[in-house]
Structure 1
């Protein structure tokens, strides 16, 4: 079956060229030249990118590679929240909107960069008052809201390691993740909203932590003010904690290799893998891929429809996007509730320029019919993105025609929780083929090989591998270094994605 699908993809040869005005605006106009230069001097390339960000202390060495372990920006000191918030506030963006949040009832809430920095500092100080310090783990079980994003950033502000758990997971899945991380504090909301209903989250947390003595406090964002009326001392009111905390909190000086977060990704067997990402390299690559792949500029309105419980939410709703200082739309609830026009209504209302979603969502909207997006003015769109799975040519073409109105570029991104950032992708100035992700991002060296690691000829099926380290790569699997090492040892000497899933790909010479 996989080979049949690959054969179909091989037959897709038509290229779609970007409009002249998009090419002229793009940060990178000559992909081939920049890619060749990046391969010749990988460390020099990333050092130049890193200069665009703020460091309390510059690096002594860009890369230290002791197979299969990498350290990037060795000796450098920074704080990712300084680059996401303070830097912009100091550069005149205090009153620029960072996020526009909308719920299923079209209730809107906006927060500026200045207000977000203050909220993050208050939460950070609140967590400190509960005894949270650098290196402690904090589990976050919240919907995609401003409060959840600010909590992630608050952890990073003080050097605590956050572990965000998708708010749709069961108590068993949540417990496994809290237990593995040995979270000192859990932060949750009283409920999330979906299809007009309030989905209880607090009860799920209570059941998940039953008997876990290492959980010292549960901080609850009580959305209606009635969830904590009969709760004991284990529970802390998020709103009261924020109100009583200082709006000033100096960022913890973090080593580039200090842990930033753990994100659990399910294996095919056994317990989920706790993918560990660190500070410096992850910051640099998510910042730069956001800038280049989405062609982000000062005046852009950006919208990624992912949940913060996934890596896409971490990299391309929070860290990479805030580092670029643009305005983002975030939503809570179902994409097709109260009707299938919800998303397109927001694109029209907020004049969204860059829209990043999953093929599953596109196929769902295809079933509803093109009459829904055609009701709305989507002319503000310039860049459309695809993430999470391969996009089939039919969905690509529908996306291109009915959402992009044949005037947008589609950037099809391949990457994973483990990679942290885009690895293979179309960039806006480069032609695209429906259903094909495009070219490797700068300094990334993929190859298609057989099971013994030998390169296979063009147009043949093989295994995708990455030949060399990259800044946003996972550093280990939390508490299980042997699981990490298997990524590099399944096919000796190279990084093999999809470790337990034997999916194969064609060596397309495009």
Structure 2
């Protein structure tokens, strides 16, 4: 078994771990094969060499993942412009679609499953690599005949349907730049992103199905494009067949575009550092940030993380509960296809038409790797474990999780009930600008509840204090000391904002904005966003720690914590909780919960106020939007709300605070 020796990773025999790898996990591990193939004795050794000699490491990763270049790079890395602006694989020519599709046409893989789709109503379809290649060729050729040019920006405002994947591949083949948009956005959110990147094309649908009901998209798109002067054509997929407004000068049917193309299309030979995607992330203030990603960056990082942390291989079926407008959607598609694996695309929701829909999907499609947020797990826990146990989950090999910190109870429930004690929870955290993870877990190392096993190979992660000095045992800023291929190439038309966001606080360090802790056994923990961090009477605590204390009370289902100005302590802890039984909400229970948290964390960290709410503001991919709670509490503007999944909460928060709607 691999061992570790530098304190950044847990040892294989760590006492008290909740999960240990089996001989089968070790025998199939491609990461372990990679370590041994290079004569290294530990994951720690691999990580150390990967950050000390990145050109060696990424050269070997390219070989291991069989990444194809039309023209090989002159070298691996050029840092002449500094770590903020690295040039990876300079001189190299390659296209992500060639590595996702074209190269498999030379092998028996062409007839293997690329992805499976299931609609909200249960309809299912299977697409082979050959079929996806054929449809992507037709669309790429059709779009070019419609006027698409290399480097044109194209908005993708689509639900999770097969045409979404076809479009992603076709745009890469044509050398265009994709801008994926969350399927639940309103017209203003769609318009602001399309206008920012000056999109010429938008691909959308008439609508889609969610919880058995039809949701309109074309009407939203029509209102959005009125505000986007650069937009010239809108391609419309007929998903529901419902009547929609039609502008013959602007709109064109998807099938008509396909008919313009042919099954043969020569994928454009783009530079390795050519942009292929602008994906927007919501900021606390100001307009969303357009993270720019290149052909040799985002897909490579996604594939490497899936290979090294999740052990995704060609016989696996990956299913991440997400939307294509969030990073994990493109991450799933590009990463799986680069590795020659398969993925499941799901239009519906995990609890419709019954609370066991997610587990039914695992059984029906034999999913081997499930990705789900802690928020989704907490919601499904409330439906009862009998819904999980009625479905066969024997195919499940690992469970991925990202988006927010875990609480111990749902983590244990996921491990024991969903994973039957054998499928590890691969906790994974990074971001849209990262192209994947900074920290992850490994199928070859033990797990402790809510923890990370360590930094991903190639990621020079550290925990530091306000001066940039390493912190061990305490909470500090999560930083990166060196660049990596998936690093965003800046924000679209806003390079200064990119530098200000990540590189301005500590010279030469990427400051990610998360509080992290590395314990004495080599396990890592995230304690929430550093801009959410609470400093109470001189003591610093992450909101997740207080939230876990509150959730450990049997009356509490979920909790979110913010800091509010206090004249004595500097910051007071204010908690918002969802009860298992809403009728139990009383002032005495609020006092009891505050005391319960104080008993676990200490008197100085006792919540000053506890408010009962029916729901907590979250993004569609499950992240808590604590800034929305804080803005309401202190009377400030909440910033960009386009990612908010549950807008009704905006009326519920003032009522909980006794301020009316």
TM-score interval, normalised by the smaller of the two chains: over 0.9
Output the aligned Cα RMSD.
1.5
Change (3 A) 1:105 1:44: same
Secondary structure in structure 1 of the residue aligned to 2:30: coil
Deviations, residues 52-86 of structure 1 (Å, cap 9, x unaligned)? 21110111011111222111011100110010001
Secondary structure in structure 2 of the residue aligned to 1:69: coil
In 1, distance between residues paired with 2:407 and 2:138?
45
Deviation of residue 227 (structure 1)?
Answer: 3.7
In 2, distance between residues paired with 1:216 and 1:452?
50
Q: What is aligned with 2:478? A: 464
Residues 1:39 and 2:51 aligned together:
yes
In 2, distance between residues paired with 1:230 and 1:219?
11
Q: What is aligned with 2:387? A: 372
Q: What is aligned with 1:359? A: 374
Q: What is aligned with 2:410? A: 395
Q: Which has the larger radius of gyration?
A: 2
- Highest RCO, 1 vs 2 (Cα 8 Å, sep ≥ 6): 1
In 1, distance between residues paired with 2:232 and 2:191?
15
Among 26, 29, 39, the residue aligned to 1:26:
29
Secondary structure in structure 2 of the residue aligned to 1:372: helix
Deviation of residue 13 (structure 1)?
Answer: 6.2
Secondary structure in structure 1 of the residue aligned to 2:510: coil
Which piece of structure 1 moves more, 288-297 or 248-257?
288-297
In 1, distance between residues paired with 2:493 and 2:245?
38
Deviation of residue 101 (structure 1)?
Answer: 0.5
TM-score (norm 2): 0.73
Q: What is aligned with 2:325? A: 309
Deviation of residue 23 (structure 1)?
Answer: 1.5
Moved over 3 A (4+): 12-15, 224-231
Deviation of residue 443 (structure 1)?
Answer: 2.0
> Are 1:222 and 1:228, in contact at CA under 8 Å, matched by a contact in 2?
no
Secondary structure in structure 2 of the residue aligned to 1:199: strand
Deviation of residue 171 (structure 1)?
Answer: 0.7
Residues 1:63 and 2:77 aligned together:
yes
Matches within 5 A, 1:291-330: 291-315=307-331, 317-330=332-345
In 2, distance between residues paired with 1:428 and 1:85?
28
In 1, distance between residues paired with 2:476 and 2:310?
30
> Are 2:219 and 2:244, in contact at CA under 8 Å, matched by a contact in 1?
no
Q: What is aligned with 2:440? A: 425
In 2, distance between residues paired with 1:98 and 1:373?
27
Deviation of residue 16 (structure 1)?
Answer: 2.1
Q: What is aligned with 2:469? A: 454
Among 210, 219, 223, the residue aligned to 2:226:
210
> Are 1:19 and 1:408, in contact at CA under 8 Å, matched by a contact in 2?
no
Q: What is aligned with 1:93? A: 109
> Are 2:154 and 2:178, in contact at CA under 8 Å, matched by a contact in 1?
yes
> Are 1:477 and 1:484, in contact at CA under 8 Å, matched by a contact in 2?
yes
Q: How many residues align?
A: 493
Structure 1: where are the runs of 5+ without partners? 1-11
Q: What is aligned with 2:505? A: 490
Deviation of residue 455 (structure 1)?
Answer: 2.2
Deviations, residues 353-382 of structure 1 (Å, cap 9, x unaligned)? 111111111111111111110111111111
In 2, distance between residues paired with 1:142 and 1:36?
42
In 2, distance between residues paired with 1:226 and 1:284?
39
In 2, distance between residues paired with 1:393 and 1:18?
20
Deviation of residue 225 (structure 1)?
Answer: 4.0
